[in-house]
Amino acid sequence: MTQELNDGLPAREAALTLIDAALSRRGGLDEAASANGFRFLEPRERAFARALAMAVLRHLGPIDRALAARLQKAPPDRVMHLLRLGAAQAFHLEVPAFAAVATSVELAGANKASRPFKGLVNAVLRGLLRDAPPSDDPTLLAPPWLYSRWVAAFGEATARQIAAQIALEPATDLSLKPGADAAALAETLEGEVLPGGTLRLRRKGDVAAWPGFEDGSWWVQDAAAAVPARLLDVKAGEAVLDLCAAPGGKTLQLAAAGASVVALDRSAARLKRLEENLVRTGLQAEVVAADGATWEDTRTFDAILLDAPCSATGTFRRHPDVLWAARPGDVASLANVQARILDSAAGRLKPGGRLVYCVCSLEPEEGEAQVEAFLARRPDMALDPIQPGEGGAAGFPGASLTARGALRLLPHQLDGGQDGFFAARFRKAS
């Protein structure tokens, strides 16, 4: 093997760790990427390892179908991951076929568990790479049970459009601090300003090195994720609670609007990133580590934003591992959690106050059904319908507005894609 191929082995081994973490539900890809073994790689190797893992996860369904046709039975997990990695390199990352095979065989031989399968890895990959690349059929890109749910909820045509986004690498979206020169930043960062003010970039690399990061002119936030805080329409001086606030993009939006913000999340570790971004942007918020359903604080608020814990199936563009880590029973159990926090939020709202509930989920039980159940339980809360005219300022596509005046933001509805979100606005009786 050439020195050039040997140089890439640590990154490929790290990619195997990321893939295994993503598919075995042991903390997920992001947690694995923050582990010591991954962080000690050179920045270039870290980036390559992540790109490898993401290529596997974005194309996992078609790759696995192609591999299944060449395997009499499923091999051990590490061997299967090696086969996936080899296929993804050759078909989706433009790695030469010989390098994709050779590095996979080398990694097989480097581990006692996979060493007996070196010949299998070599034969399967060589045979696979003689064929045409597996087709990214949208019906194969998501787990079958999840794709069936999308068909039931949105129809076959829309489900295909949603699933087709899985294979696409997303742009980077930025929310700008008030006063930042959007036009100048768009020119400097080679981006475009979307409706609502989000700046969309195709730029690659370490965001901390991009112009405007150090002076806090912007923060990374998907275009769809920026919509719920805009729907709350907070005013300067209002007391606002951001429930389940981490990693903090919505907190920054609320603080930038001049509100007096309490940012609450049960994860103290995740709140550290929020606190770092508050310092970087020069914005202020009270940060509290507590459970939103049981927080022992008697204050009431003019407005509350609840971005509830959910299955996160709408975030697959940046986190394709959520699709493969999710299980059918997760949706129902998370819906129960959401209901408890919603009731807690309603109790913390001042008379006449506003509440925006949102989830980054495509599942109706966590969105539309949650709204109807909440209204049935809480006669003191009424739906405050979102109006079509709000779309320009809030940045949501017209197609996302439901008949009830909620938002069902689907990934394909915005040119270039967006996260899948549901959002509804309520007002408490005076």
Q: What's the gap between Cα 200 and its chain centre? A: 16
**Cis before 247? omega within 30:** yes
Whole-model pTM? 0.93
In the chain, what is the greatest distance between 2 CA atoms, to the nearest angstrom?
74
Euclidean distance between CA atoms 40 and 97, whole angstroms: 28
Euclidean distance between CA atoms 304 and 348, whole angstroms: 8
Phi/psi at 410 (nearest 5 deg)?
A: -105, 145
Q: Is 204 left (phi over 0), alpha (psi -120 to 50) or beta?
A: beta
List the pLDDT tens digit at each of the 430 positions of the chain.
444 445 589 999 999 999 998 888 656 677 777 666 677 788 889 889 999 999 999 999 999 999 999 999 999 999 999 999 999 999 999 899 999 999 999 999 999 999 999 999 999 999 999 988 888 899 999 999 999 999 999 999 999 999 999 999 999 999 999 999 999 999 999 999 999 999 999 998 889 999 999 999 999 999 999 999 999 999 999 999 999 999 999 999 999 999 999 999 999 999 999 999 999 999 999 999 999 999 999 999 999 999 999 999 999 999 999 999 888 899 999 999 999 999 999 999 999 999 999 999 999 999 999 999 999 999 999 999 999 999 999 999 999 999 999 999 999 999 999 999 999 999 999 9
- Nearest residue to 8 (alpha-carbon basis) of 112, 100, 122: 100
- DSSP string covering 17-81: HHHHHHHHTSSHHHHHHTSHHHHTS-HHHHHHHHHHHHHHHHTHHHHHHHHHTT-SS---HHHHH
Known active-site residue 360: yes
- Both tokens of 390, joined, read 């709000």
Give Cβ neighbours of residue 182 (< 8 Å, ≥ 6 apart). Answer: 176, 193, 197, 199
